[in-house]
Amino acid sequence: MQNSSERLYFIDNLRVFTIFLVIVLHASLCYMVYAPQWWYVVDPQRSFVFDINVLLIDIFIMPTMFFAAGYFATPTLRKKGTGAFWIDKGWRILLPWVLGSLCLAPLIAYMIIFSRTDTPPNYIGFWFGDFWGPYFQQAHYWFLGVLTLFFLAFTLVNGLIPRVFQKEARATQPSRWLFPAFLIITTGAFLAGNLFYSADAWEHISYLFVIQPARIGIYAAYFALGIYSWRCGWFTAFGYRPRPLGWSLAAVITAIAYLAYRIAHPAPTELIVKLGWGLLQNAFSMTTFFALLALFQRYVNQGGYWWRRFGENSYGIYYIHNLILLPTVYLLRPTGLPVLLKFVIVVLFTMLFAFVFLEYIVKVPLRWRKGTIKSPGYPSNQKSD
């Protein structure tokens, strides 16, 4: 079995790629033809290409992030103990969630009004007024709240029945029924929420958690799958390694089927149509997720300098990206540039500006203070939540 201290670089690298896709998704929302009415900034120049982007990318990126969090949950808890585990999560997840939801999400939500009127209301008045009414949300910080909830449930179950999370003595392969069962579970979770809410609806629970009812169960399933896969030694020398060709072909087929179904049934009301939507969506999500795992393990399983630097900053990039992306979209609106060029500028500028800001403005003074400035190529101290 693979040495437990050996770094699974491909999971970190996949997480970097996923954060990049989050930026692509949020930029696409600004330029899609059928953008949500509540989306923060919408450019009058639009293309249906970006609708396709949103329909596809939106499905698998968050399951990937929840899986990665679940995969490293047990070894991190075992290494640190419950107290240190939660001190770490408090600083890295809980506190950023609270600050982001209370201080930054109102600023992002304010862009809905600011970008649509020549005389926007006073921001402070909005923050303490309408934000807590029809404009309430947690922006992209909802992820941290749900992740906190999952870690809490994980810690409680681990305290009650720790043997459930005990790693197998030898790596085991998934049974032939695992993937069909997982597809049934995620489809059932989707349908349970979709019976009462639209597939893309957002709801808040007493202002504390912001969730999508049709997806929250899916995210929990991927988080649990991450825990299970670590327990079974997946991705190690003798563990399960998904095959790139098979999963990639399945991803292409399910993507085409799901996309055609979504376009044909944009807002289904019949139960059987909702079931078909849920089945195809989750088949596409699962096959694409495993295809990405397979491709990254086969071809991007190394800790190159730039992968490590972006990996160490990936969380920070996720945290601040909308604060860069949305003003950039707003400033580019009157330029008259081709919509595709605007999109490329927004995506690249957001990713690179966030990285440069974090790597060379925020972190360099901290490294000088700690005496840890080193030449390029120094070992990454990246952590995996």
Residue 358 is which amino acid? L
Length of the chain as a residue count = 385
- For the chain, the structural domain boundaries read 9-370
Mapped onto helix, strand or coil, the DSSP state of residue 211 is strand
State which amino acid sits at residue 180: P
CA-CA distance, 81 to 228, in Å (whole number)? 19
- The per-residue pLDDT for 374 is 44
* Nearest alpha-carbon partner for 109 in 128, 131, 94, 93: 131
Phi and psi at residue 351, in whole multiples of 5°?
-65, -45
- Phi and psi torsions of 162, nearest 5°: -60, -25
Which residue from 217, 235, 207 is spatially nearest to 71, judged by alpha carbons?
Answer: 235
Taking the C-alpha atoms of residue 265 and residue 258, their distance in angstroms, rounded to an integer, is 10
User: Measured between alpha carbons, how far is 329 from 326 in angstroms, rounded to an integer?
Assistant: 5
State the DSSP string of 85-100. HHHHHIIIIIHHHHHI
Q: What pLDDT, in 10s, does the model give residues 335-358?
A: 999 999 999 999 999 999 999 999
Residue 286, pLDDT score: 98
Distance, in Å, from the CA atom of 376 to the CA atom of 378, rounded to the nearest integer, reads 6
Average pLDDT, whole number, for the chain?
Answer: 92
Distance, in Å, from the CA atom of 30 to the CA atom of 90, rounded to the nearest integer, reads 33
Place of tokens 């449930």: 153
pTM of this structure: 0.92
* Cβ-contact 342, 332 below 8 angstroms: yes
Tens of pLDDT, residues 32-62: 999 999 999 999 999 999 999 999 999 999 9
Identify the three-state secondary structure at position 247. Answer: helix
Cα 195 from Cα 323, distance rounded (Å):
34
Tokens standing for residue 306: 């730039």
State the Cα–Cα distance between residues 313 and 111, nearest whole angstrom: 26
Spans of the chain below 50 pLDDT: 1-5, 372-385
Burial of 64 (0-12, 13-18, 19+ CB in 10 A): buried
| 3-class secondary structure, 205 | strand
Asked if 187 and 114 touch (Cβ cutoff 8 Å), the reply is no
Paired residues of 211 in beta bridges: 203
Q: Which residue has the tokens 């989750």?
A: 282
| Cα–Cα distances in angstroms (integers) from residue 156 to residues 52, 82, 124, 126, 350, in the given order | 40, 10, 40, 39, 38
Q: Are 55 and 262 in contact (CB under 8 A)?
A: yes
Per-residue DSSP letter, 168: P
Question: Tokens representing 262?
Answer: 């979504």
* Rounded CA separation 28/187 (Å): 26
Tokens at 224, concatenated = 């649990």
